[in-house]
Amino acid sequence: MAADGGPIFVVRHTFLELKLPTRGRSRTMSDTGLHLPDSPVSCDWVQHLKAPLCLDCCEVSSAISTAPADSDDDRPQSVPSWADDSEEDEQEKTTLMLRNVPYSCSRDELIDFMDSKGYRGKYDFVYLPADFRSKSGFGYAFINLVSHRAAQSFQADFDGFCSWRQSSQKVAEVGWSEPNQGLAVHIERYRNSPVMHDGVPDEFKPALFKDGNRIAFPSATRAIRAPRIKRR
């Protein structure tokens, strides 16, 4: 090493190697520049990778792109070991993510469509994220079925489906919602979310159902801040 602790050049066979001094402990970083946590944190970073926004801790943005994204921009992400489910848990799953929904399909149109296919009364939660300004969906929806068996039936009926009422050639994909599963989890996730603010039109909000009829969402447990919409 150089006397002053600076870089030195080392000749190895036919290669010239530059060695830089190391100070302190080096930290591993992915080639994307994203530092991944060694353990779970309060703001679920996995969800940031898998969804267009984290409604529990981030600003709602109508201009943000999807990131499991939907459909056309689907980039499945691996789930770290602490979020893995056991085989026993697999049998309890009821929440599905429906991808490749036509952008022009609204939440209520999706609900009417599911009812027409015989699923009225078999689901209790539906949320189709959409752009507040264009009123265009992001291309996917979260649906909680009333039982694991109903969820399996829905998955079998709609995975690969392409006969939409809208003019679209999108081929639907259905998989388990990860990592959020179950009605109670989704109620707690959204009841205090900016998307439930009074200023947000109902068509953009999650909807709850019981026995095929829509019911009111549980009241918020704290003041809901208005969503901040990024301008293009």
**Cβ–Cβ < 8 Å for 208, 191:** no
SS (H, E, C) the chain: CCCCCCCEEEEECCEEEEECCCCCCCCCCCCCCCCCCCCCCCCCHHHHHHCCCCCCCCCCCCCCCCCCCCCCCCCCCCCCHHHCCCHHHHCCCCEEEEECCCCCCCHHHHHHHHHHCCCCCCEEEEECCECCCCCCECCEEEEEECCHHHHHHHHHHHCCCCCCCCCCCCCCEEEECCCCCCHHHHHHHHCCCHHHCCCCCHHHCCEEEECCEEECCCCCCCCCCCCCCCCC
The whole model's pTM is what? Answer: 0.62
**Euclidean distance between CA atoms 142 and 96, whole angstroms:** 6
* CB atoms closer than 10 angstroms to residue 154: 21
**Cβ–Cβ < 8 Å for 107, 127:** yes
Reference 57, options 221, 189, 204; nearest CA is 189
Q: What domains are defined for the chain?
A: 95-232 (3.30.70.330)
Q: CA end-to-end span of the chain, whole Å? A: 52
pLDDT tens-digit readout, 6-36: 655 555 555 555 555 555 444 433 333 333 3
pLDDT score, position 59: 36
pLDDT score, position 172: 94
pLDDT score, position 16: 53
Q: Which residues contact 177 (CB under 8 A, 6 or more apart)?
A: 95, 96, 97, 142
Percentage above 70 pLDDT, the chain: 60
CA angle 145, 205, 175 (to 5 degrees): 35
Residue 44: is its pLDDT beyond 50?
Answer: no
The two tokens of residue 32 are: 């994307």
pLDDT tens-digit readout, 98-145: 999 999 999 999 999 999 999 999 999 999 999 888 889 999 999 999
pLDDT score, position 94: 97
**Cβ–Cβ < 8 Å for 123, 66:** no
Reference 174, options 125, 141, 129; nearest CA is 141
